[in-house]
Amino acid sequence: QKEVEQNSGPLSVPEGAIASLNCTYSDRGSQSFFWYRQYSGKSPELIMFIYSNGDKEDGRFTAQLNKASQYVSLLIRDSQPSDSATYLCAGPMKTSYDKVIFGPGTSLSVIP
């Protein structure tokens, strides 16, 4: 099992809807997770991080972490066409917690 897994998509949602992106991880010891957004042809940029069970909200973005079920999700409310990008989930590498391992990313398309 890969350390961090994501559904590659593509995920399509209409403008104004909630986009839900999911990620599962294999290492029960992982404490913190990151969500990066990557526009086509650009580099990844950090948009959210979460390190405790429950929800963390930042504007239209909510990250959710469920350690018992080993999944982390990103909700984007009121989705905009500018949210169309690939979203990468990342967590600490099992063999070395000061390094991060990335999932393959989920492609999101917000349809006007």
Partner 1 sequence: NAGVTQTPKFQVLKTGQSMTLQCAQDMNHNSMYWYRQDPGMGLRLIYYSASEGTTDKGEVPNGYNVSRLNKREFSLRLESAAPSQTSVYFCASSDGRRGPYGYTFGSGTRLTVV
Nearer of residues 17 and 61 to partner 1, judged by Cβ: 61
Q: Find tokens 């650009």 and name the residue.
A: 42
- Cα 31 to Cα 51, 73, 101: the distances in Å are 5, 14, 13
CB 34 → partner 1: shortest distance, Å?
5
Nearer of residues 54 and 81 to partner 1, judged by Cβ: 54
CA geometry: angle 71, 5, 24, nearest 5 deg? 10
Nearer of residues 76 and 101 to partner 1, judged by Cβ: 101
Site of interaction with partner 1 (CB under 8 A): 8, 32, 34, 36, 42-46, 49-51, 88, 93, 97-105
CB 77 → partner 1: shortest distance, Å?
22
- Cα 103 to Cα 42, 91, 99: the distances in Å are 17, 8, 14
What is the DSSP code (8-state) at residue 45? E
CB 63 → partner 1: shortest distance, Å?
10
